[in-house]
Structure 1
Amino acid sequence: MTKVLIIGAGHAGGTAAALLRQYGHEGPIVLAGEEPAPPYQRPPLSKAWLKGEADLEALLLRPENFYAEHGIELRLGATATAVDAAAKAVTFADGTVETYDALILATGSAARKLNLPGADRPDLLELRTLADAEKLKAALEPGRRLAVVGGGYVGLEAAASARALGAEAVVIERMDRVLARVASETLSDFFTRYHRDHGVEVLTSAEVTEFEASGVRLADGRLIEADAVLVGVGAAACEQLAASAGLTCENGVVVDETARTSDTAIWAIGDVTWRPIPMHGGLRHRLESVPNALEQAKQAAAAITGRPAPAPEVPWFWSDQYDVKLQIAGLPLQAERQVLRGDPAAAAFAVFHLAGDLIVCVEAVNAPAEFMAGRQMIGRGTPVDAERLANPAVTMKAVAAG
């Protein structure tokens, strides 16, 4: 019987293992991950976990006994070091070797490192794993000050959690606005104001030059004093195993619409992939999101079990900060203009990115109707009247109906 080996026991790998059984795979499944915990959800680490609103049981994708009950061998604390594609075998750090008939790489991504003096300090924090979150949680006490280097979503969520716990927070971003790489200027301006209104100091166009014992040194000579420093400047695909197998890599492991790599016996899913986006003409992108992990887990499990390929999905993302729920659908890769619907000052609005008369992306702040309708219209390729779209008096149902 076909043996499936999954390297990476995160959201993508854990879901793929469960789906293989759900789709009728009867052969052996081995799920191997570096962390000591069974597959768990990562998004709550910067929110509910930091604030003490969730425990490990709440984070687990499935109860730990699920894997044994479904014949899934769970190898925790197991680090894969090399893939021999010709022999169809994976070597682990402890010297053991696992063979496979089908291999799924779900190795995810790792926090980017800054090449700066003091960047190797052991007290610097990052936020990718449960262990990272525990260290950060211990540092967020009332009266303490957290410096966040990087104004991306994880950094902003951590700053919001710090404020909720009574700690001070300062966000340091080298670009001229937060979220500069991933959001519209309207959204950046909104979150900057919102964080400042909640007592967060937001510094933009501020370049870090050194990490010191008492804080962060900037290029203009200022020392930003802090009791703890969190570095969140993006993530890089963990493609080393794929490279060892001779797979094609380009800002991640290159895969097709079925999540298959350049080796027909190997699939890759989740944050590690450089994948085509059918809704955007097949343009390739690396998506770091739970929906992407779930979609590609379905693709790989379907391909391995011989089921029809699942329908392509519109990429989507979310972020929770304070009482704000941000939901994004699509990617603004081909956008030519933006349409604002609602009022940012009221913390209820949406920014639609249009290419011609088609919506390619929607950023919705406390606007679930706009998010849902926008996501559906992106998926269907529904033309839109920009004037009606901008008018909140016209319901999204009416906008979608033309």
Structure 2
Amino acid sequence: MSKDSSAASERDFTQGVPLDDIADDGILTGQVGDESVLLVRKGGELFAVAATCTHYGGPLAEGLVVGDTIRCPWHHAAFCLRDGQVAHAPALDGLKCWRVEQSGGRAFVREALPAEAPPKLSTAKVPVSVMIIGGGAAGNAAAMTLRSEGYEGPITVWSADASPPYDRPNLSKDYLAGTADPAWLPLRSPEFYAEQRIAVRCDQRVVQIDPASKTLALANGAHEHYGALLLATGATPIRLAIPGAQLHHVMVLRSLADCNALIARLATTRRCVVVGAGFIGLEAAAALRTRGVEVHVVMRGTHPMEKVLGAALGDMLKKLHESHGVVFHVDADVNEITATSVKLSTGDELPAELVVAGIGVTPEIALAQQAGLAIDRGVAVNEYLQTSAAGVYAAGDIARWPDPHTGQRIRVEHWVVAERQGVVAARNMLGKQQRFEAVPFFWTQHYDLAINYVGHAEGWDRVDIDGDPVAHVCAATYWRGNQRLAVATVGRDLESLRAEAAFEAQTPVQ
């Protein structure tokens, strides 16, 4: 990929640009009227698309062209250059596109192209109705995909959450830190769901599934029939099991309600103890420090997130948090919580008006177990995300699938994976028979530092570090023997995209 100079952002594409200015897989930035546009060359073809990712507004000019897609450097959303449609989550909306004309050795960007209409589906090949249990990333993505693929039947999302689908990753990041507008959180407006004829039933818990009769039972006693079913029940936080864990100031952070309750307590909180130094614990610590709260983190081991990122990046995160005033208590457990303090296994006692437990989650598989579905440390699915019951699919935190990149069955608890699985499950409900082959991706944010991670490494025998973690510019590659399992990058967004593309291109493990 090549990028032009900043001055080129003022280029008027309607006046034309020399074809020689655009290298193959190259990106030029310019304007069409008052809109920022990218001109991309792929072989002998030229494409003009909007310059900003529709997820969090990432600059696509700093991204990567892979095949006929352009990929965002921030969170790896991908868009088709031909029609602007979303190729990879986490983006929900496609890109605006323009027609490109070549004449006299120059490229001219002309009128905007109309959005692609959904395809027509044969009603004989699709379920009479679709029900989705879970209103998180996978469930929301599946419902939207069904409509974008042309499905016209009834779609109902049953969610135990009191709020319509929202941007869960934001809860432990900018929203908790007070730097995100609450209006950013809903993934879609009520009007959108109404227009798309997607019935979102919040605060409704499904208590039983009968795959034989294709029915489900609700906690209120009602029974519903489905044509196809997606289980996307997500995960629930693990609670502390120690004296004092039930006190009102001991909290977890999973739902919007959890986050709002936590924020409400900050008005009277000066000191917080975070139990656990994983994703949620450390992101919450950063957000609370941004609000000026004194934060102590209690953790087992000596390096935060060492099981996921290794010692070098764990040490980098520890030093980053310490530079912002976070105090770590390593090789420690919490033995007891009182109304005013936290007592540690080391003998220390920490004053605290608030305790946040971030010690992991457990997949919500009770419904699947009750229904007699195959269980394998999650809900077992095949490469099409089908469970052991006909017409029942699973996606997101609960799904354990055969990963072609590692040759293992894996389960991943990350937002982007859940969204991408929701898309594939929806397509397969419509008879597409699409294998789920996406490379797992996640990002984590701490103050102004982000780590992007592609691949999956539950265990490794070496980590190669390129660059300087202290300077927050580096890449860590995780290996088992000669097999590259995953790559984590800091300050190297383009390298992260290239790693993802390389994993996609490699021969699947048999």
TM-score, scaled to structure 2:
0.72
SS in 2 for 1:267: strand
Q: Which one of the candidate residues 277, 288, 310 is aligned to 1:151?
A: 277
Residues 346, 42 of structure 1: alpha-carbon distance in 2 compared, 3 angstrom cutoff: same
Residue deviations 1:27-73, cap 9 Å, x none?
11111111222111100001111122334431111222111111212
- Cα distance in 2, alignment partners of residues 95 and 257 from structure 1: 34
1:363 aligns with 2:488: yes
Give matches, 1:177-256, under 5 Å: 177-256=303-382
- Cα distance in 1, alignment partners of residues 460 and 488 from structure 2: 13
Structure 1 vs Structure 2: percent identity of aligned residues?
37
Number of equivalences: 381
Amino acid at match of 1:53: T
SS in 2 for 1:127: coil
Question: Which residue of the partner structure matches residue 320 of structure 1?
Answer: 445
Q: Which one of the candidate residues 457, 463, 469 is aligned to 1:338?
A: 463
Q: Which stretch shows the higher mean deviation, 112-121 or 138-147?
A: 138-147
Q: Which stretch shows the higher mean deviation, 151-160 or 357-366?
A: 357-366
Question: Which residue of the partner structure matches residue 39 of structure 1?
Answer: 165
Residue deviations 1:253-284, cap 9 Å, x none?
11111111111211111011122221111x12
Give matches, 1:2-401, under 5 Å: 2-141=128-267, 144-281=270-407, 283-309=408-434, 312-333=437-458, 335-381=460-506
Question: Which residue of the partner structure matches residue 42 of structure 2?
Answer: none
Amino acid at match of 1:73: A
Displacement, 1:334? 6.0
SS in 1 for 2:128: coil
**Contact 1:17-1:29 within 8 A present in 2 as well:** yes
Displacement, 1:368? 0.9
Amino acid at match of 1:79: R
Displacement, 1:308? 4.3
- Cα distance in 1, alignment partners of residues 357 and 177 from structure 2: 19
- Cα distance in 2, alignment partners of residues 140 and 201 from structure 1: 19
SS in 2 for 1:264: coil
**Contact 2:138-2:423 within 8 A present in 1 as well:** no
- Cα distance in 2, alignment partners of residues 221 and 234 from structure 1: 24
**Contact 1:329-1:362 within 8 A present in 2 as well:** yes
**Contact 1:178-1:192 within 8 A present in 2 as well:** yes
Residue deviations 1:347-398, cap 9 Å, x none?
111111234555321111122122122222222239xxxxxxxxxxxxxxxx
Residue deviations 1:190-247, cap 9 Å, x none?
1011111110001110011112111211113221111100001000000011111111
Q: Which stretch shows the higher mean deviation, 77-86 or 354-363?
A: 354-363
Amino acid at match of 2:504: G
Displacement, 1:21? 1.1
- Cα distance in 1, alignment partners of residues 325 and 268 from structure 2: 13
Question: Which residue of the partner structure matches residue 61 of structure 2?
Answer: none
Displacement, 1:169? 0.5
- Cα distance in 2, alignment partners of residues 14 and 55 from structure 1: 21
Q: Which stretch shows the higher mean deviation, 199-208 or 172-181?
A: 172-181
Question: Which residue of the partner structure matches residue 385 of structure 1?
Answer: none
Q: CA RMSD in A?
A: 1.7
Question: Which residue of the partner structure matches residue 36 of structure 2?
Answer: none
- Cα distance in 1, alignment partners of residues 456 and 209 from structure 2: 33
Residue deviations 1:72-123, cap 9 Å, x none?
1221110111112222111111111111111111100000122211222232
Which protein shows a greater Rg? 2
Displacement, 1:141? 4.7
- Cα distance in 2, alignment partners of residues 319 and 360 from structure 1: 19
SS in 1 for 2:288: helix
TM-score, scaled to structure 1:
0.91
**Contact 1:101-1:265 within 8 A present in 2 as well:** yes
